[in-house]
């Protein structure tokens, strides 16, 4: 059931992005973009830790975001060995649309649930998630 829900939510996100005229972005890109919406820049190591992905996987995802013009790689001013990932203007413009899609998704997930039921659902999902290694 979790697998089917995951598949359906991914399809929902992709369809919503397409409806907004945004193609090429997939849900795993959204994790990166959401981090960057809240911080000015992030190293690859920090980003990998925050989204719980390996560096090789993250590199592939970031490469695609660079290709589409949503993020840039910039050398750190203090340490040239460090590369920071930063949003471009084009990437920053995605934030309102992402927020709207997130709100739509939450409306679907929590539809007709009482506040107590919503809290229970989140508690149960955190419990399930905690059983799996990172």
Kindly give the confidence (pLDDT) of every residue in the chain, 134 residues in length, as a single tens digit, with 9 standing for 90 and above: 999 999 999 999 999 999 999 878 999 999 999 999 999 899 999 999 999 899 999 999 999 999 999 999 999 888 888 899 999 999 999 999 999 999 999 999 999 999 999 999 999 999 998 999 87
Gap between the Cα atoms of 130 and 134, Å rounded:
9
Gap between the Cα atoms of 131 and 53, Å rounded:
18
pTM of the model: 0.83
Looking at the chain, the number of H-run helices and the number of E-run strands are 7, 3
Sign of CA dihedral 75, 79, 80, 82: negative
Gap between the Cα atoms of 26 and 16, Å rounded:
11
Q: In the prediction, which pLDDT does 23 show?
A: 79
Q: In the prediction, which pLDDT does 78 show?
A: 87
């Amino acid at each position: 059931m979790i697998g089917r829900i995951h598949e359906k939510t991914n399809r929902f996100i992709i369809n919503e992005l397409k409806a907004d005229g945004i193609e090429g972005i997939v849900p795993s890109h959204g994790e990166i973009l959401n981090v960057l919406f809240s911080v000015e820049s992030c190293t690859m190591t920090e980003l990998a830790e925050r989204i719980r992905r390996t560096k090789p996987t993250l590199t592939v995802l970031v490469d695609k975001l660079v290709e589409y013009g949503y993020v840039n790689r910039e050398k750190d001013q203090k340490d040239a060995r460090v590369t920071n990932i930063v949003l471009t203007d084009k990437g920053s413009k995605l934030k309102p649309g992402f927020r709207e899609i997130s709100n739509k998704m939450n409306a679907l997930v929590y539809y007709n649930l009482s506040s107590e039921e919503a809290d229970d659902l989140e508690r149960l999902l955190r419990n399930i998630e905690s059983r799996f290694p990172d």
